[in-house]
Each structure stands twice: as C-alpha cells, then as structure tokens.
Copies of this chain bind each other. A is one copy, B any other.
Amino acid sequence: MAIQRNTIQRTLVLDAVKTLKNHPTPDMVSEYVRGRNPAVSRSTIYRNLNLLCEEGRLQRVHVPNSADHIDHNCEPHYHAVCNKCGSVFDVEINLDSELSDDSSDLCSYVSCKGLKIKGCVVLFTGICDNCSEESKI
C-alpha cells in the first residue's frame, strides 16, 4: 500500500531523519520523535520508515549485527560503519579510481554459477575518529 495521507506522525518521522542527518536507527528516530510528541508509538516509527523507504524518500542502510540505519540522502552512494560504536558515515569516491557511486557497476566484474547477478551491496568498515580518540586515552 502506498502513502496516501499526511499524518503528523509521518511528518515527524521524515523530519527526524532529515534533521538528525547522522543515519539514525529506528530507535534514534523514535527517541527524537518522542521528544516532540511522546504519544507516537514505535510501530508507527517502523511503519513510516518502511513506507518512506519504499517510496524512495529515504534510504535504508543494512548493518551486520546491528539495527538498520536510515539515510535521508537517497542518491546512490557508499557507507562506512564504525566497528566500535556502530555509527554510519558517508563515503567519498577517490576521483581517479574506477569505482563509481553506483555499486551495481561492480557486477560487471563478476559472475556466478546458478544465479543471475543483478545488484550489489557494499559496506565499508573501520574505526571512527571518536572511537580511536577514546582508545588512546
């Protein structure tokens, strides 16, 4: 079912992701939304994030061993996750590389017996500045 009505809950959810800008998890969205309207339920957060992602107004970032993260930027681009704190960052492509923003380009480099490859998910990993600072102390 597509989006047909503009509820205050829906607006709050979309605004939260756009305001936070930090690839929040549904939980972080929930916390932010509840700060402005404590009555909004967790199910509504999840349902609206799902609908907004399906409509292409938000983008989902799957992170292993963690909740999903939500990106307000729907243009194709890569992400990186901190192995310590789980924060998600946007990644920049080096100008002189063969890699493009569109990860499905990688598909032309590979083949697979028994499966027709259509797309590709890439997630970079590392340690964020915050966490590497902490470990120095």
Contact = CB atoms under 8 A, between A and B. Distances in A.
Determine which residue in A80, A98, A127, A132 has the highest number of CB atoms from chain B within 10 A of its CB, and name it. A80
Task: Report the interface size class on chain A.
Answer: 35 or more
A19 B7 CA distance: 53
A27 B109 CA distance: 32
Nearest to A60: B64
A121 to B, nearest CB: 5
Contacts of A87: 115
Q: Give the top 4 A-B pairs by smallest Cβ distance, nearest first.
A: A97-B109, A62-B64, A99-B109, A118-B126
Interface of A: 62, 64-65, 78, 80, 82-83, 87, 89-94, 97-99, 106-130, 132
